[in-house]
Amino acid sequence: MAAALKRSTLRLGMIPADGIGKEVLPAAQRVLEALGSAIPRVEFVPLLAGWEEFNKNGKALPEATIETLKIECDAAMFGSVSSPSHKVPGYSSPIVALRKHLDLYANIRPVKSVQGVDGKPVDMVIVRENTECLYIKKEEIHDNADGSKVAYATRQITSYASSRIGRMAYELALRRQAEREAGASSSVHHSQPKVTIVHKSNVLSVTDGLFRETVRAVSQEDKYKSVKTEEQLVDSMVYRMFREPEIFDVSVAPNLYGDIISDGAAALVGSLGVVPSVNAGDNFVMGEPVHGSAPDIEGKGIANPIASIRSAALLLSHLGYTDAAAKIDTAVDNVLREGKYRTPDLHGKSTTEEVTNAILKAL
Ligand SMILES: NC(=O)C1=CN([C@@H]2O[C@H](COP(=O)(O)OP(=O)(O)OC[C@H]3O[C@@H](n4cnc5c(N)ncnc54)[C@H](O)[C@@H]3O)[C@@H](O)[C@H]2O)C=CC1
Ligand SMILES: O=C(O)CCCC(=O)C(=O)O
């Protein structure tokens, strides 16, 4: 997290991309606009990317978007993309590509229940490595002599990426502990900061073995002495997360496992529609709801805007505007607690706009 920089204007690249990304990103923008003098003036810079853009202009991630983000923007917000499930020549996921282009190596995904709202108490953060693992997308397919096919994918784990994501996880564990000591509210009592290393090195002893050993080496650094380290195989991680989510504080995982367990964790707090994230690097940060483009509800006006709005708060907090971020989070929590305005994913009847309006009123 950076200390709040003294900026007169914050230039924020806005990439709604596809599907409900186009419905929930404007909600986040309205909330940022409503903050007034709590943050610098925000200049929103609309940028193109996505499946629809690919079909129009042949590029899922236009050069202009990358260049504008790198040269003109202080930070960005991404909506969601509708990547197809079959191979399309020339298409590659723009969000996966953006994370690499901007070296946004950490995907930080807090999953937190709201006190007074139904469900199990949860207050955990998944720290997902964001640049390698199977997401380097080195895949190949060959024909066998008998006419059948064989496909391979290369999984890359480096000590460099594992070390920096490990450090991010331990720093976050210390920061969360400091926030708890300063009185931050939580529905879970964590007596000690803890990092859980998620892996499958009982089977993948070389790749996950390197991830595990490298993060363990980070845990030995003097400054992390107060942080407890545990390990969990990714399959039993899912099991324990559903049975006793309250035991998890910060969990650090290679890319694909982190992607999967965070969608699972979202079910613990009611919906993918409420779980935010930031893609963070050393020089840039991009907020992004954890969910995808939700084609099943696209265009109906009922997408939950909370994940997107909380991602804007997380982005502000990352930039050092912690009071403004806390304001947004409190407004969201109050609306959830009151229960009058909820979208159908949370068993309500409200629209995206009604929930956004309620949050704006609560601000
Ligand atoms: N970062 C990104 O842009 C991501 C993009 N995707 C893409 O999204 C598309 C759909 O993928 P799915 O696997 O269906 O995942 P999804 O996250 O889009 O949807 C899963 C389920 O959660 C619901 N949901 C998600 N967000 C919601 C919200 N804000 N409010 C209410 N309900 C919500 C959907 O209606 C659906 O039932 C695919 O093309 C996939 O490639 C998937 C995940 C991340
Ligand atoms: O759909 C895509 O293009 C990428 C989806 C990857 C993903 O699920 C995530 O990073 O959260």
Greatest Cα pair distance, the chain, in angstroms, is 69
- Mark which of 239, 268, 297 sits at the end of a domain: 268
Q: What is the mean pLDDT of residues 222-243?
A: 97
Q: What is the mean pLDDT of residues 29-48?
A: 96
Please tell me whether residues 154 and 204 are part of one structural domain.
yes
Reported confidence tier of residue 50, pLDDT bands at 50, 70, 90: very high
Please indicate, yes or no, if residue 245 is contained in any of the structural domains.
Answer: yes
Using alpha carbons, list the distances in angstroms from residue 313 to 67, 90, 91, 271, 289: 25, 35, 31, 18, 11
Please tell me whether residues 258 and 138 are part of one structural domain.
yes
Q: What is the mean pLDDT of residues 170-187?
A: 92
Measure 292 CA to ligand 1 centroid, in angstroms.
3
From the alpha carbon of 297, which atom of ligand 1 is closest? 35
Least confident of 6-15, 221-230, 280-289, 328-337: 6-15
- Give residue 144's domain range: 120-268
Pairwise pLDDT comparison (184 vs 197), residue with the higher score: 197
Please tell me whether residues 133 and 262 are part of one structural domain.
yes
Cα–Cα nearest to 25, from 315, 318, 321: 315
Burial label for 45, CB within 10 Å (0-12, 13-18, 19+), is middle
pLDDT higher than threshold 60 for residue 1: no
Please indicate, yes or no, if residue 231 is contained in any of the structural domains.
Answer: yes
Side-chain-side CA neighbours of residue 70 (13 Å):
12
Please tell me whether residues 282 and 257 are part of one structural domain.
no
pLDDT higher than threshold 70 for residue 263: yes
Please tell me whether residues 91 and 157 are part of one structural domain.
no
Please indicate, yes or no, if residue 206 is contained in any of the structural domains.
Answer: yes
Q: In 10 A of CB 42, how many CB atoms? A: 20
Beta carbon of 96 within 6 Å of any ligand 2 atom: yes
ipTM at complex level: 0.99
Q: What is the mean pLDDT of residues 223-238?
A: 98
Burial label for 85, CB within 10 Å (0-12, 13-18, 19+), is exposed
Distance CA 96, CA 282 (A): 18
Please indicate, yes or no, if residue 115 is contained in any of the structural domains.
Answer: no
**What DSSP state is assigned to residue 274?**
G
Beta carbon of 288 within 6 Å of any ligand 2 atom: no
Structure tokens, 122: 């949860």
DSSP line for 87-142: --TT---HHHHHHHHTT--EEEEEEEPPTTSSS---EEEEEEE-S-EEEEEEEEEE
Which tens digits make up the pLDDT trace of 247-261? Answer: 999 999 999 999 999
Please tell me whether residues 177 and 291 are part of one structural domain.
no
Q: In 10 A of CB 207, how many CB atoms? A: 22
Ligand closest to CA 286: 1
Please indicate, yes or no, if residue 44 is contained in any of the structural domains.
Answer: yes
Residue 255 is predicted with a pLDDT of: 98
DSSP line for 151-177: EEEEEE--HHHHHHHHHHHHHHHHHHH
Residue nearest to atom 6 of ligand 1 (CA): 292
Beta carbon of 98 within 6 Å of any ligand 1 atom: no
Please tell me whether residues 96 and 51 are part of one structural domain.
yes
Structure tokens, 279: 């893609």
Please indicate, yes or no, if residue 113 is contained in any of the structural domains.
Answer: no
Residue 339 is predicted with a pLDDT of: 95
Q: What is the tally of structural domains in the chain?
A: 2
The helix (H) or strand (E) run that includes residue 263 is helix 255-268
Beta carbon of 83 within 6 Å of any ligand 2 atom: yes
Please tell me whether residues 165 and 97 are part of one structural domain.
no
Percent of the chain with pLDDT over 90: 93
Please tell me whether residues 63 and 171 are part of one structural domain.
no
pLDDT higher than threshold 90 for residue 237: yes
136 close to 154: Cβ distance less than 8 angstroms: yes
Residue 189 is predicted with a pLDDT of: 87
Find the length of the chain: 363
Most confident of 110-124, 181-195, 289-303: 289-303
Structure tokens, 352: 């995206």
Please tell me whether residues 258 and 304 are part of one structural domain.
no
Measure 117 CA to ligand 1 centroid, in angstroms.
24
Please tell me whether residues 244 and 293 are part of one structural domain.
no
pLDDT higher than threshold 90 for residue 296: yes
pLDDT higher than threshold 90 for residue 99: yes
What residues form DSSP beta bridges with 222? none
335 close to 360: Cβ distance less than 8 angstroms: no
Structure tokens, 44: 């929103």
Distance CA 245, CA 265 (A): 8
Q: In 10 A of CB 341, how many CB atoms? A: 20
Beta carbon of 95 within 6 Å of any ligand 1 atom: yes
Reported confidence tier of residue 5, pLDDT bands at 50, 70, 90: low
Q: Which residue has the tokens 């399309």?
A: 88
Measure 49 CA to ligand 2 centroid, in angstroms.
14
Please indicate, yes or no, if residue 114 is contained in any of the structural domains.
Answer: no
- Tell me the best of 78, 95, 261 to mutate to test the pocket of ligand 2, counting ligand atoms within 8 Å of each CB and taking the most: 95
Q: Which residue has the tokens 């997107």?
A: 308
Please indicate, yes or no, if residue 216 is contained in any of the structural domains.
Answer: yes
Which tens digits make up the pLDDT trace of 316-327? Answer: 999 999 999 999
Reported confidence tier of residue 184, pLDDT bands at 50, 70, 90: confident
CATH number of the structural domain spanning residue 27: 3.40.718.10
Residue 138 is predicted with a pLDDT of: 96
- Mark which of 236, 268, 300 sits at the end of a domain: 268
Structure tokens, 255: 């890319």
123 close to 187: Cβ distance less than 8 angstroms: yes
- Mark which of 215, 242, 268 sits at the end of a domain: 268
Please tell me whether residues 75 and 161 are part of one structural domain.
no
Using alpha carbons, list the distances in angstroms from residue 363 to 104, 162, 331: 30, 39, 5
